[in-house]
Structure 1
Amino acid sequence: MLSATLPSLNAGFVLPGDPSWDHARSAFNLTLDQHPAAVALPADARDVAAAVAYARAAGLRVAPQGAAHNQGPLGNLEGTLLLNTSALQEVNVDPAARRVRVGAGVKWERVLGRLNAYGLAALHGSSPDVGVAGYSLGGGIGWLSRKFGLQSNAVTALELVTADGTLIRTDAEHDPDLFWALRGGGGSFGVVTAIEFEVQPLDRLYAGAMFFELDRAGDMLHTWHELLPEFPEELMSWASVIHFPPAPFVPEFARGRSLAIIMAAHLGAEAEGRDLLAPLRALGPVRDTFAMVPPIVLSDLAMDPLDPLPFRLTSALVDTLPVDELMTTIETAGPALTVAQFRHMGGAIARETPGAGARATLPGEICAMGLGVVMDEDGDAAVRGALAEFDAHLRPHRAGDYANFVEVPVDASAFFTPDVWTRLRAVKATYDPTDLFKGNHHVPPA
Structure 2
Amino acid sequence: MARPVVSETASAAGRLRAQLGGLVFLPGDAGYDRACVPWNLAVEQRPAAVAVPSSAADVVRVVRAASDAGLKVVPQSTGHSAAPLVGRMDAAVLVRMSGFGGVWIDPERRVARVVGATAWHQVAEAASVHGLAALHGSGPDIAVAGYTLGGGLSWYARMFGLACNHLVAAEVVLADGSLHRVHASHEPELFWALRGGGGNFGVVTALEFDLIPLEEVYAGVLLWDDAAMTGEVCRAWAAWTRGLPEEATTSLRLLGRPRSSQAQTIFPGRQVVVIDGAVLGDREKAAALLTPLRELNPTVDTFTPTPAADLTRLHFDPELPSPGVSSHVLLDDFDAAAVDVFVAMAGAESETSLLSAEIRHLGGALGRPAPGGGALDQVHGRYSASFLASGATEKLRTQGQADTTRAAGALLPWSSGHRFLNFTDQEVDPAAAFGAATLARLRAVRDRLDPTRLFIANHDLG
TM-score, normalised on structure 1?
0.95
Amino acid at match of 1:324: D
Is 1:200 aligned to residue 212 of structure 2? yes
Indicate yes or no: 2:11 matched with 1:2.
yes
Report the CA distance between 1:22 and its aligned residue: 1.3
Task: Tell me which residue corresponds to 2:408.
Answer: 391
Residue type at the aligned position of 1:323: V
Contact 1:63 1:81 in 2 (8 A): yes
- The 1:312/1:141 distance shift into structure 2, 3 A limit, reads same
CA deviation after TM superposition for structure 1 residue 372, in Å: 0.5
User: What are the Cα deviations for residues 169-218 of structure 1, in whole angstroms up to 9, with x where unaligned?
Assistant: 00001110000000000101000011110010002111111100232111
SS in 1 for 2:233: helix
**Is 2:253 the counterpart of 1:240?**
yes
Distance apart, 1:335 and its partner CA = 6.2
The structure-2 alpha-carbon separation of the partners of 1:55 and 1:409, relative to structure 1 and needing over 3 Å to count, comes to same
- In the other structure, the counterpart of 1:432 is 450
In structure 2, what is the equivalent of residue 141 of structure 1? 153
Q: Is 2:453 the partner of 1:441? A: no
Aligned partner of residue 216 in structure 1, secondary structure: helix
**Match for residue 184 of structure 2 among 168, 172, 187:** 172
Offset, 1:334: 5.3
Q: Distance in 2 between matches of 1:187 and 1:333?
A: 38
Q: Which amino acid aligns with 1:90?
A: G
How far apart, in 2, do the equivalents of 1:179 and 1:97 lie? 20
| Structure 1: runs of 5+ lacking an equivalent | none
Q: Cα gap change, 1:26/1:249 in structure 2, threshold over 3 Å: closer, same or farther?
A: same
Which residues in structure 2 correspond to 1:220-369 (within 5 Å)? 220-243=233-256, 250=266, 257-321=270-334, 322-331=338-347, 332-333=349-350, 336-369=353-386
Deviation at 1:333, TM superposition (A): 4.3
1:5 shift after superposition: 4.8
Asked if the contact 1:208–1:263 (Cα under 8 Å) also holds between the matched residues in 2, the reply is yes
Q: Deviations over 1:383-440 (max 9, x none)?
A: 2332122112111111111101111222322211111001001100111111101111
Residue number in structure 2 paired with 1:65: 76
Moved more, 10-19 or 25-34: 10-19
Q: CA separation in 2, counterparts of 1:392 and 1:177? A: 36
Partner deviation per Cα, 1:245-286 (whole Å, 9 max, x = no partner): 999995xxx566421011120102222122211111111100
Alpha-carbon contact 1:158-1:179 (below 8 Å) kept: yes
Q: Select the residue among 126, 129, 138 that pairs with 1:126.
A: 138
Residue correspondences, number: 441
- Counterparts of 1:259 and 1:238, CA distance in 2: 14
Cα distance, 1:350 vs structure 2:
1.0
Cα distance change, pair 55–344 in 1 and its aligned pair in 2 (3 A)? same
Letter in 1 for 2:445: V
> What is the rounded CA distance, in whole Å, between the counterparts of 2:119 and 2:217 in structure 1?
23
Contact 1:126 1:301 in 2 (8 A): yes
- Are residues 294 and 420 of structure 1, via their aligned partners in 2, closer, same or farther at CA, if it must alter by over 3 Å? same
Is the 1:333–1:386 Cα contact (8 Å) retained in structure 2? no
Larger deviation: 5-14 or 81-90?
5-14
Contact (CA 8 Å) 2:255, 2:356: kept in 1 or not? yes
Q: Between 367-376 and 332-341, report the one with greater CA deviation.
A: 332-341
| In the alignment, structure 1 residue 21 sits paired with structure 2 residue 29 | no
Matching residue's letter, 1:50: R
**Where does 1:21-170 land on structure 2 (aligned, <5 Å)?**
21-76=32-87, 77-170=89-182
Amino acid at match of 1:395: L
Q: Is the 8 A contact 2:385 2:408 kept in 1?
A: no
Q: Which residue identity does 1:409 align to in structure 2?
A: E
* Partner SS state of residue 230, structure 1: coil
1:106 deviates by 0.5
Aligned to 1:90, the other structure's residue is in SS state: strand
Contact 1:150 1:349 in 2 (8 A): yes
Q: CA distance change for structure 1 residues 10 and 108 in 2, over 3 Å: closer, same or farther?
A: farther
What's the offset of the Cα at 1:296? 1.5
Residues 99 and 379 of structure 1, relative CA distance in 2, 3 Å threshold: same
**Cα–Cα, structure 1 residues 5 and 152, in superposed 2: closer, same or farther, change >3 Å?**
closer
Q: Distance in 2 between matches of 1:168 and 1:432?
A: 14
Per the alignment, residue 422 of structure 1 pairs with 440
Moved more, 368-377 or 34-43: 368-377
- The answer to whether the Cα contact below 8 Å between 2:101 and 2:114 also exists between their aligned partners in 1 is yes
Would the aligned equivalents of 1:75 and 1:408 in 2 still touch at CA under 8 Å? no
C-alpha contact (below 8 Å) 2:247/2:280 kept by paired residues: yes
Q: Are the counterparts in 1 of residues 121 and 309 from structure 2 also a CA contact under 8 Å?
A: no
CA distance, structure 2, for counterparts of residue 2 and residue 407 of structure 1: 32
State the Cα deviation string for residues 84-118 of structure 1 (Å, max 9, x = none).
11122121111111000001210112111111121
Query: 2:53 & 2:119 partners in 1: Cα distance?
Result: 17
Measured in 2, the distance between the counterparts of 1:135 and 1:374 equals 22
In structure 2, stretches of 5+ residues that fail to align are 1-9
Q: Take 2:159 and 2:274, find their aligned partners in 1: how far apart are those partners?
A: 22
